[in-house]
Amino acid sequence: MNYFLSKLWSDEQGQDVAEYSIMLAVILVIVVGTVRLIGSNAGNVFSQVGSSVQ
């Protein structure tokens, strides 16, 4: 039992998966926020251009 616990404690294989999933979540939040910001600004620009053309 002691060997199993010491091996489980020293095993760092799952740590990589956790780090990558946290990095992916942060990148996803940044991308989604940027797309929403650009999307709303692009809509306003197209509306202004459309009203100027008319």
Q: Please give the C-alpha separations between residue 46 and each of 13, 20, 26, in angstroms, as whole numbers.
A: 50, 38, 30
Amino acid at 27: I
Is the pLDDT assigned to residue 2 strictly greater than 90?
A: no
Please tell me the predicted confidence (pLDDT) of residue 24: 95
Q: What is the per-residue pLDDT across 5-50, written as a single tens digit (0 to 9) for each?
A: 676 566 566 667 778 889 999 999 999 998 888 877 777 777 888 8
Burial 4-31 (b: 16+ CB within 10 A, else e): eeeeeeeeeeeeeeeeeeeeeeeeeeee
Please tell me the predicted confidence (pLDDT) of residue 8: 59
Question: Does pTM surpass 0.75?
Answer: no
Please tell me the predicted confidence (pLDDT) of residue 43: 77
Please tell me the predicted confidence (pLDDT) of residue 31: 93
